[in-house]
Amino acid sequence: MSDITGQISDGYHTFDELYRYRMIYHAWAVRAWQQAGYPVVKSRRHSDGEPCFGGGWFIVSARLPTGQVSNHYEDKYWGLFDCPEVGKAPAWDGHTPQQAADRIENALKEEA
């Protein structure tokens, strides 16, 4: 994300702030998902063996009861995600950001 784009605001939060919140919440969710027995891994390579976005990035992938969810982050955040490292990420099931959000929401509802 460019410095200019990151500073765009909705009047309350900038993109940079919101992406940071998402990342931190995701790192906490990874810990909770593992405690619940859901598989979560991180890798610097996609399932085809190629480096994420050509290098300098990694993917965190979880398999919830409602389906796969994943996000990419810059390598500098690697240590925030306390989950097993694998050589290659699981194959992506084609989920969109909306589908991933729906899967997380539905998993929360199922746990309630």
What is the rounded distance in angstroms from the CA atom of residue 60 to the CA atom of residue 101? 15
Residue from 1, 60, 53 nearest 28 by CA:
60
What tens digit of pLDDT does each residue of 25-74 get? 999 999 999 999 999 999 999 999 999 999 999 999 999 999 999 999 99
Residue from 22, 111, 16, 105 nearest 71 by CA:
22
Across the range 1-30, mean pLDDT stands at 82
What is the rounded distance in angstroms from the CA atom of residue 95 to the CA atom of residue 88? 18
The pTM for the full model equals: 0.89
Question: What residues does each domain of the chain span?
Answer: 11-111
pLDDT class for 12, splitting at 50, 70, 90?
Answer: low
What is the rounded distance in angstroms from the CA atom of residue 1 to the CA atom of residue 22? 15
| Residues 67 and 96 sit within 8 Å (Cβ to Cβ) | no
